[in-house]
Structure 1
């Protein structure tokens, strides 16, 4: 294996590793996006629970409100606290998603650079092989000419 072949193999391995990093970064983005969607779903569910409690206090619990007002207030407070925690957590999830997207962009940029380097080397390798083949052909022609010339013959 020539040095050029080894260099081509090395470039190929670097492209392969860059592709693997892209796949890993994409998986991280997908996971972070799923976490954001899940958190948004939890927030929406919590808001519906708060609305349902408010509706129940006004309608179903109104006749018994003096008796259940403490329980309703505690439930409302618990739901509000959960909503606030989920909203803060959503901010963290969104930041994690942005960071994962940045890592994916960096991995894609590195893959693009690795592919460009590999292509340039492949072009250079092709030119080198063509030049070597041409040089061999010219040497063969000279040898044939030398064998056919009177100087090349031994009497």
Structure 2
């Protein structure tokens, strides 16, 4: 038979495991917040890329239509603006790749935090069961002692009568 901890020790273990569960939940919440922030960064970057593409299309449209008559005069400016937009678009596309990588890393952190939470909850349940078992053992021991004392009290008068 295994030795059970006393109820006080078991209660302390339950409290400690409860604290571990609470910390694991906090880490899950923080990881979820990190995912939310990373997802928002990806969405913002995608919106920026879409806007830059629209700006490039608008510039191309303006060159063909509105600026066509004045193109010789403004060609240097148009080329510079097109190069600037293309450069910004390329930078944002590379930054989007980095943002998506950060989002994936945040998702991995959340998965790890959830696995840790699951382990902590399982350990807490095990310790809680041990504490209940320890408490039941103490109660059973007390009941046996009371029964033994009652039997001794009944035997003592019977022995005195003989």
Same fold judged by TM-score > 0.5? yes
Unaligned runs of 5+ in 2: 1-6
| Count, aligned residues | 155
Note the 1:1-155 alignment, pairs <5 A: 2-150=8-156
| Contact 1:18 1:107 (C-alpha < 8 Å) held by counterparts | yes
Shift of 1:150: 3.2
Q: C-alpha distance in 1, partners of 2:132/2:156?
A: 38
Partner-residue secondary structure (3-state), 2:156: coil
Q: C-alpha distance in 2, partners of 1:124/1:113?
A: 16
Shift of 1:68: 1.1
Q: C-alpha distance in 2, partners of 1:154/1:7?
A: 50
Unaligned runs of 5+ in 1: none
Q: Which moved further from structure 2: 118-127 or 37-46?
A: 118-127
- When normalised by structure 2's length, the TM-score is 0.90
Q: C-alpha distance in 2, partners of 1:73/1:152?
A: 117
- When normalised by structure 1's length, the TM-score is 0.94
Q: 1:146 to 1:69 in 2, by over 3 A?
A: same
Shift of 1:69: 1.1
Shift of 1:134: 1.4
Q: C-alpha distance in 2, partners of 1:30/1:110?
A: 20
Structure 1 segments (4+ residues) deviating >4 Å: 151-155
Partner-residue secondary structure (3-state), 2:94: helix
Shift of 1:151: 7.1
Q: C-alpha distance in 1, partners of 2:158/2:138?
A: 25
| Contact 1:21 1:107 (C-alpha < 8 Å) held by counterparts | yes
